[in-house]
Amino acid sequence: MTPTVGVLTPHSAPGPEVELPAMASLDVVVERVPRGGDTAADLRALARPSMLEPAVTALREARVDVIAYASTTSGYAIGYSAEADLMRRLRELAGVPVVSSGLAATQALKTFGVRRIALIHPPWFEEEMADLGARYFGDQEVVTSTATSLPKAPDQVKPAQVIDFVSAQVDDSTEAIFIAGNGFRAADTIEELERRTGQLVLEANQVLLWALLAATGSHRQINGYGKLFR
Fold held by 4-102+206-229: Rossmann fold (3.40.50)
For 104-202, CATH gives 3.40.50.12500
Q: How far is CA 214 from CA 29, 51, 96, 172, 220, in A?
A: 19, 27, 13, 31, 10
Strand partners, 68: 7, 99
Task: Encode the chain (230 residues) as per-residue pLDDT tens digits.
Answer: 678 999 999 988 899 999 999 999 899 999 999 876 778 898 999 899 999 999 999 999 999 999 999 999 999 999 999 999 999 999 999 999 999 999 999 999 999 999 999 999 999 988 888 889 999 998 889 999 999 999 999 989 999 999 999 999 999 999 999 999 999 999 999 999 999 999 999 999 999 999 999 999 988 889 999 999 98
pLDDT at residue number 147: 92
pLDDT given for residue 1 in this prediction = 67
Classify each residue of 154-171 as buried b or exposed e, where b means 16 or more C-beta atoms within 10 Å of its C-beta. beebeeebbbebbeebbe
Task: For residue 111, give Cα distances in angstroms to 42, 86, 107, 210, 229.
Answer: 32, 22, 6, 12, 12
Instruction: Give me the DSSP letters along 49-60.
Output: HHHHHHHHHHHH
Q: In this structure, which amino acid lies at residue 70? A: A
Report CA-CA distances (Å) from 181 to 72, 92, 123, 125, 170: 6, 26, 10, 8, 18
Could you give the C-alpha distances from 155 to 139, 150, 204, 225, in angstroms and in order? 33, 11, 16, 20
The Cα–Cα gap between 139 and 115 comes to 8
Q: How far apart are CA 182 and CA 76, in angstroms?
A: 13
Tell me what pLDDT residue 193 has.
98
Phi, psi of 199 (to 5 degrees): -115, 160
CATH 3.40.50.12500 residue spans of the chain:
4-102+206-229, 104-202
